[in-house]
Amino acid sequence: MIVTEKLFEIEDQTEKLIQAILASKSFESYKINRQAMYESNEVQKKQKEFLDAKDSFERIEAYGNHAPDFRTKQRAVRKAKRALDLSEEVAEFRFSETEIQTVLDLVGMAVAKTISDDIKVDAGNPFFEKGKHSGCGGSCHAS
């Protein structure tokens, strides 16, 4: 690659874009909610309960329905995961995480569209509807 003034201009614009994203309300909300989630004793307790239930289930999972308490342990994992996901701090964090992902998806699509309409952008949000998606069509991992 040949280094030109154009490359330096692109680098400067990229840095401005990064700083704008880092200064945005969406990112600030993300940081606050992330910190609140990690500092919450309730979330830590629920996360430990989930990890313990998951570990207990994984030890017998390979045996399937033949293992004693298979369904009970499976339900315990789901119940612990649901309790963790529904805690206020985790829910707020997930919401702000989705919000910042949407911002990043929009930026990626805007950059791609500026170059060409034919560029496919795989948005991180599967519910993203404001542009073309390019998934692998189910054959990404075909060997």
| Number of neighbours of residue 47 by Cβ within 10 angstroms | 19
Which tens digit of pLDDT belongs to each residue from 48-88? Answer: 999 999 999 999 999 988 988 999 999 999 999 999 999 99
Please state the pTM of the whole predicted model.
Answer: 0.73
| Residue 125: predicted pLDDT | 63
Contact (Cβ atoms closer than 8 angstroms) between residue 70 and residue 64: yes
Reported confidence tier of residue 6, pLDDT bands at 50, 70, 90: confident
- Cβ atoms of 84 and 46 within 8 Å: the answer is yes
> For domain 24-115, is the CATH number 1.10.1040.10?
no
**In degrees to the nearest 10, what's the CA dihedral of 125, 129, 133, 138?**
70
Quick: pLDDT tens for 81-127.
999 999 999 999 999 999 999 999 999 898 888 888 888 888 766 66
For residue 45, name the pLDDT band (cuts at 50, 70, 90).
Answer: very high
At 124 the pLDDT is: 65
Residue with tokens 């692109």: 10
Domain boundaries, the chain: 24-115
CA-based diameter of the chain, in Å?
Answer: 68
Tokens of 50: 């989930």
The yes-or-no verdict on residue 142 having pLDDT over 50 is no
- What's the CA gap between 42 and 111, in Å, rounded? 41
Average pLDDT over residues 42-51: 97
Using left for φ > 0, alpha for ψ between -120 and 50, and beta otherwise, residue 29 falls in alpha
What integer pLDDT is reported at residue 26 of this predicted model? 94
d(CA 109, CA 105): 6
Q: Which residues of 2-19 are buried (b: 16+ CB within 10 A; e: fewer)?
A: eeeeeeeeeeeeeeeeee
pLDDT average, residue stretch 118-138? 61
